[in-house]
Structure 1
Amino acid sequence: MKNIISIIKYQFATKKIIGLGSPLLDIQAEVSLQFLEKYGLKLNNTYFAEKKHIELYEELIKIPTHSHVPGGSALNTIRLARWMAQAEKDQVKFIGCVGKQDKFAQMLIETTYQDGVTALFDEQSYPTGKCAVLLCNKDRQCLVPLIGASAHLSQEFVEQHIEEVKTAAVLFCEVYFLYPRAELTKYVFKVAQENNVHTCLSLSSVNAVNDRFNEILAVLPYVDYLFGNEEEVEQFGKNFGCGFGLQESMLRIAKFSKVGSKDRVVVCTQGHKPTLIAKKNELLNIQVESVDPQKIVDTNSAGDSFCGGFIAELLNGADLIKCVRAGNYSAAQTIQHEGSTIPNYQPDRSW
């Protein structure tokens, strides 16, 4: 096994993954109902942070049992890709924005580095993006995200680091990042295409597909790999004008206007059901190995983790079937842990 890992790391040594997205610090803690009431919160809801919630984050990190990990969809994917590839820190990098002289920024940078990812973070005069994950009554929770500085990545900073994009093998971005930075995202994807970089975009959520549809269309011609789950891809197909069901929609999206020499690949996960791949006129169904339900802890980061495993294998020139199997393996490991925690063991490459 050690020899296999060594070979993979050697193959990876001349290659690089770049992530682009909205980095957040996920802060998780067990709290009381009184704590929720203090901030006007209820369980099983998501509240975008308002001024009255600012002190909440300060209070959370004072709880001795709290935990904090890097978050945000694209950063989760990049962290899992690094784990799957067992890569060195300078081979997996992430471009984003955090607050200036902000202790939460320092916490985010340090934990990102601990997970083996080099943070290329712009600094702006906004609070660092974060998400409070408030647990109460066992598996019930309340989320309070503060987008903050993560929405303010500057064009100038990206241009200063554009060589990182030009020399990468894979670029990965999330739809969440597109607004209000669709033109910036298009610029980065265009540069990547001009340098034959594999370009990847995750649909993020059904709401993101609806809210950012025009922005997705603007970037789509530069996208080699489009990822989504069943609900996201179906909704995108409807918005796209494809009233033909999931599989036909995937084929039509795959053939949408494309820049560059590579054909677009649409990848659709369906939980425990087969993963679907559309390319040109071909549709593949790839079985998913089951996970013992008793071992499943948290499925929230399964999609991000799937993308991480997929692009780690894409980096090594694997075929689509092997990329999907790696993605499913990565997701299967992640759902047996809390949140987007990186497993404390090496992947066994059983796929």
Structure 2
Amino acid sequence: MAYDGILLGMGNPLLDISAVVDEGFLERYDVKLNNAILAEEKHLPMYDELATKYDVEYIAGGATQNSIRVAQWMLQIPGATSYIGCVGKDKFGEVMKKSSHAAGVNVQYDEDETAPTGTCAVCVVGGERSLIANLSAANCYKVEHLEKPENWALVEKAKYIYIAGFFLTVSPASIQLVSEHAAATNKVFSMNLSAPFICEFFREAQEKAMPYVDFLFGNETEARTFSKVHGWETDDVPEIALKISQLPKVSSTRKRIAVITQGADPVVVAEDGKVSLFPVILLPKEKLVDTNGAGDAFVGGFLSQLIQEKPIEECVRAGCYAANVIIQRSGCTYPEKPDFH
């Protein structure tokens, strides 16, 4: 099987500015733990404060880019993955490009001259994280970049495409173009619920994309928000996963599979009218460094096996393995080689 460019991701490339902070810092900027939000005016001074007063790490991030990097790491086949998104024409953009190429991902960034590269403040307290994304250039992605022959060639080459829900806030037109292509050519198209605010405030764009989605990922909080928004009146995660899997679908060649993670509780997989639960690898509290990127890593691990046409239980096992590695390290980083067998 040819793996060259088999998996394509599209999303918001962000440089993670990661630091361990205290409760006071979160209170000062009105930030809740274990949440993902877009930066508002009141959050903007936070980035400077992190960089000057805390011990920060800069890590290439953004949800989709994290998943693609983890899939690439699990595969250990250079060039198996590609990624499209928008960065600024600046130092942070260069840092990200270097880091992605070093990881073996073929990145094709749209370089915007008017906005700086997007950043994400990763505030870690007691191993739990909160994400505040300042999209900047990531918000400037244009469908015209996707339509350029050299970039569209990546879409045509890919057999599996993954886009986190965060990209719905930036370029629904790009998602529509790619999802329609996937349905027409029988490719596997996957998305992620990504955050409660996406389900609440970008419901229309999400509903437009959903009929094209073959694999839908999310966590229990996002699933419950999705249920609430759709008036399903249930908080039961297996029931919600089942309902999501049964939403209308454009292509009938494969049934939708919903995969919902629940932290330390079992992973819920709903397909073809049935729900399966898969235990995760439990980690002693003292080994937890930070949960940033755990969900992204799960998706990356899952996709690394899916593109090899492994059964769902193997995909889940690889997802759990990758997430377990990532939460024992700072940010979405990993050792040189995986020891997944």
Alignment correspondent of 2:265:
273
Q: Of 9, 12, 15, which residue of structure 2 is paired with 1:22?
A: 12
Residue 186 of structure 1 contacts residue 219 of structure 1 at CA under 8 Å; is this kept in 2? yes
Q: What runs of 5+ residues in structure 1 fail to find an aligned partner? A: 1-10
- Which deviations, in whole Å up to 9, do the C-alpha atoms of 1:132-164 show, x marking residues without a partner? 3467x9869876532111011111111111221
- Alpha-carbon spacing, 1:142–1:19, altered in 2? closer, same or farther (3 Å): closer
- Alpha-carbon spacing, 1:111–1:51, altered in 2? closer, same or farther (3 Å): farther
By how many angstroms is 1:52 displaced?
9.3
Q: TM-score, normalised by structure 1?
A: 0.85
Alignment correspondent of 1:314:
306
Amino acid at match of 1:289: I
Q: What runs of 5+ residues in structure 2 fail to find an aligned partner? A: none
Q: Distance in 2 between matches of 1:31 and 1:290?
A: 25
Matched-pair identity in %:
31
Question: Is the partner of 1:209 in helix, strand or coil?
Answer: helix
Task: Establish whether residue 128 from structure 1 lines up as the match of residue 120 from structure 2.
Answer: no
Alignment correspondent of 1:325:
317
Matches within 5 A, 1:1-351: 13-14=3-4, 16-29=6-19, 41=29, 48=39, 50=41, 53=44, 56=47, 60=51, 66-88=56-78, 90-99=79-88, 101-124=89-112, 125-133=114-122, 144-160=132-148, 161-244=151-234, 245-260=236-251, 261-341=253-333, 343-350=334-341
Alignment correspondent of 1:6:
none
Count of aligned pairs between the two proteins: 332
Question: Is the partner of 1:274 in helix, strand or coil?
Answer: strand
By how many angstroms is 1:297 displaced?
0.9
Q: Distance in 1 between matches of 2:321 and 2:188?
A: 21
Residue 128 of structure 2 contacts residue 290 of structure 2 at CA under 8 Å; is this kept in 1? no
Question: Is the partner of 1:258 in helix, strand or coil?
Answer: coil
- Alpha-carbon spacing, 1:57–1:94, altered in 2? closer, same or farther (3 Å): farther
- Alpha-carbon spacing, 1:22–1:47, altered in 2? closer, same or farther (3 Å): closer
Q: CA RMSD in A?
A: 2.9
Q: Distance in 2 between matches of 1:122 and 1:280?
A: 39
Q: Distance in 1 between matches of 2:275 and 2:22?
A: 49
Residue 302 of structure 2 contacts residue 315 of structure 2 at CA under 8 Å; is this kept in 1? yes
- Alpha-carbon spacing, 1:141–1:195, altered in 2? closer, same or farther (3 Å): closer
Residue 43 of structure 1 contacts residue 140 of structure 1 at CA under 8 Å; is this kept in 2? no
Q: Distance in 1 between matches of 2:331 and 2:105?
A: 18
Residue 43 of structure 1 contacts residue 141 of structure 1 at CA under 8 Å; is this kept in 2? no
By how many angstroms is 1:293 displaced?
2.3
- Alpha-carbon spacing, 1:316–1:12, altered in 2? closer, same or farther (3 Å): farther
Residue 29 of structure 1 contacts residue 63 of structure 1 at CA under 8 Å; is this kept in 2? no
- Which deviations, in whole Å up to 9, do the C-alpha atoms of 1:296-344 show, x marking residues without a partner? 1111211111000000000100111111111111111111101111x22
Q: Distance in 1 between matches of 2:58 and 2:187?
A: 32
Residue 12 of structure 1 contacts residue 315 of structure 1 at CA under 8 Å; is this kept in 2? no
Residue 175 of structure 1 contacts residue 212 of structure 1 at CA under 8 Å; is this kept in 2? no
Alignment correspondent of 1:3:
none
Residue 121 of structure 2 contacts residue 133 of structure 2 at CA under 8 Å; is this kept in 1? yes
By how many angstroms is 1:287 displaced?
1.8
Amino acid at match of 2:181: V
Q: Distance in 1 between matches of 2:339 and 2:43?
A: 46
Question: Is the partner of 2:319 in helix, strand or coil?
Answer: helix
Q: Distance in 2 between matches of 1:251 and 1:134?
A: 33
Residue 38 of structure 2 contacts residue 135 of structure 2 at CA under 8 Å; is this kept in 1? no
Q: Distance in 1 between matches of 2:213 and 2:284?
A: 35
By how many angstroms is 1:234 displaced?
2.0
Q: Distance in 2 between matches of 1:287 and 1:52?
A: 37
Q: Distance in 1 between matches of 2:336 and 2:215?
A: 28
Question: Is the partner of 2:86 in helix, strand or coil?
Answer: strand
Q: Distance in 1 between matches of 2:269 and 2:293?
A: 20
Residue 228 of structure 1 contacts residue 267 of structure 1 at CA under 8 Å; is this kept in 2? yes
Q: Distance in 1 between matches of 2:296 and 2:214?
A: 17
Q: Distance in 2 between matches of 1:258 and 1:79?
A: 29
Residue 38 of structure 2 contacts residue 134 of structure 2 at CA under 8 Å; is this kept in 1? no
Question: Is the partner of 1:298 in helix, strand or coil?
Answer: coil
Residue 41 of structure 1 contacts residue 142 of structure 1 at CA under 8 Å; is this kept in 2? no
Question: Which structure: larger Rg?
Answer: 1
